[in-house]
């Protein structure tokens, strides 16, 4: 049994795995990390490893305090991955993106895969059918777009995410919602069409905190799974054990 831990820019998301089955998912803020992990390990005494992917500034020592109870593995660029990394600057590729690419490679063999992670940032990661990681793109997520419109203008309000009723906004707030939500939907759809035009035998995986919200607005056939990164963490750890 392992505890997969995804330390994101905003929140921490964890899942207890028994084999490939998720037993329970926990979501909390960074300030609660130590207390929450302690409570999870108290509840699930069969956990033998913490498997951590982090894109944040949380210190490793916070996890290492549990080394007397369980093993701790930080996923890094030095790990064994099931793809060939063709990125021009491989050491700058985020570990979270590598984990997602690994999960796509292992879960969907012999296909071209595009993983779209809709969180604080939107990341696009492409792994071809020969298991070459080719790269992708990074753009602002939904909440970042709302915040940027407020922070870098004098009078636009800071709005919370809302599904626009129509693409033509009849007020400032409606126009903001349309611009942010529809703008991102058009962006994602455009990227998907570009990739599909160049590749057959293709699967699109949509994940991240805003995956469910966006999936219903996207017309393309996609595999939407908001827990894909956690599942990929579990898979990459099992892959490491089997191939070490």
Catalytic residue among 6, 96, 128, 210: 96
Q: Three-class SS of residue 144?
A: helix
C-alpha dist (Å) from residue 105 to 3, 125, 128, 220:
21, 11, 9, 21
Catalytic annotation present for 244:
no
130 CB neighbour count, 10 Å cutoff: 9
| Selection from 178, 108, 116 nearest residue 145 by Cα | 178
Distance CA 196, CA 177 (A): 28
> Burial, 129: exposed, middle or buried (Cβ in 10 Å; 0-12, 13-18, 19+)?
middle
**Three-class secondary structure assignment of 171-217:** CHHHHHHHHHHHHHHHHHHHHHHHHHHHCCCEEEEEECCCHHHHHCC
Residues 131 and 113: beta-carbon distance below 8 Å: no
Q: Which residues contact 91 (CB under 8 A, 6 or more apart)?
A: 77
Give me the phi and psi of 64, to 5 degrees please: -65, -15
Residues labelled as active-site residues: 96
């Amino acid at each position: 049994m392992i505890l997969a831990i995804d330390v994101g820019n905003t929140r921490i998301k964890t899942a207890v795995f028994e084999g490939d089955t998720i037993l329970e998912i926990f979501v909390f803020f960074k300030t609660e990390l130590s207390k929450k992990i302690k409570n999870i390990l108290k509840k699930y005494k069969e956990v033998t490893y913490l498997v951590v992917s982090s894109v944040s500034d949380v210190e490793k020592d916070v996890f290492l305090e549990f080394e007397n109870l369980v093993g701790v593995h930080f996923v890094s660029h030095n790990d064994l991955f099931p793809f060939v990394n063709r990125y021009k600057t491989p050491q700058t590729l985020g570990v979270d993106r590598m984990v997602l690419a690994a999960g796509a490679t292992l879960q969907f063999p012999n296909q071209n895969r595009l993983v779209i992670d809709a969180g604080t940032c939107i990341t696009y990661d492409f792994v071809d059918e020969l298991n070459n990681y080719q790269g992708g793109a990074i753009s602002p997520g939904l909440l970042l777009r709302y915040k940027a419109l407020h922070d870098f203008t004098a009078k636009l309000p800071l709005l919370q995410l809302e599904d626009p009723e129509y693409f033509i906004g009849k007020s400032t707030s409606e126009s903001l919602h349309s611009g942010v939500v529809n703008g991102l939907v058009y962006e994602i759809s455009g990227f998907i069409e570009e990739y599909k035009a160049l590749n057959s035998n293709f699967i699109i995986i949509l994940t991240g905190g805003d995956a469910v919200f966006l999936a219903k607005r996207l017309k393309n056939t996609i595999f939407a799974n908001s827990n894909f990164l956690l599942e990929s963490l579990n898979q990459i750890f099992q892959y490491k054990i089997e191939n070490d």
